[in-house]
Structure 1
Amino acid sequence: MLPTDWQAPGATVLARLKDRRARQYWDPKHLLALRLAADARDPQPRQACCVRDNILWDLAALYAAGAQWKEALPSAVFFNGPIVKRSPELETALKPLLTR
């Protein structure tokens, strides 16, 4: 984790996400990260990185259109990081969802 991960992101960081459908969460108690790990199951891809002290971090999760969080999170169609290294793969996974 980066030193900048110990506080909520500022306006400059949040401005990087220009698509209103994208979400970035500040999760100081790691509740969402723990839930993402707990609800992971097939056919969701397994992440190749991004676990420190049993906490997921710097990870992108992409869900199919219409996916809903009910008792458990739906299976992601993309689930990997670190984001800076996985951007091309994330873009490839995202393109077919945008053309539907």
Structure 2
Amino acid sequence: MESKLNIETNMIEPFVTNRYIFGPYGEPLHYDNEKERQGFIGKEKDLESGLADHGVRKYDYISGRFTSVDPLSEKFYGMSPYNYSENNPNFHDYIIIT
């Protein structure tokens, strides 16, 4: 489980302004600001469907999987077409498909 804190300080006493707790697949487990829509790798979460919009694919926080295959999957035969960035949380896919 990963947590993220935003802390503001003043000359008297620091205080927490927002607190975010994420599950292993990026699903928000708890956050103080209910209007927050940013989720997995900073993509916006659709509050109606519960999926993160990645442009060409939707990501399901509960299953930790994309709901469709990667449009570039034919170029990477050794990997599952549902993978993202070689399943490494430190990598980010910078290829933009328009």
Same-fold call, TM cutoff 0.5: no
Q: Return the index of the structure with the highest Cα Rg.
A: 2
State the structure with bigger RCO (CA 8 A, min sep 6), 1 or 2: 1
Which TM-score applies when normalising by structure 2? 0.25
Greater helix share, 1 or 2? 1
The structure with more strand, counted as a fraction of residues: 2
| TM-score normalised to structure 1 length | 0.25
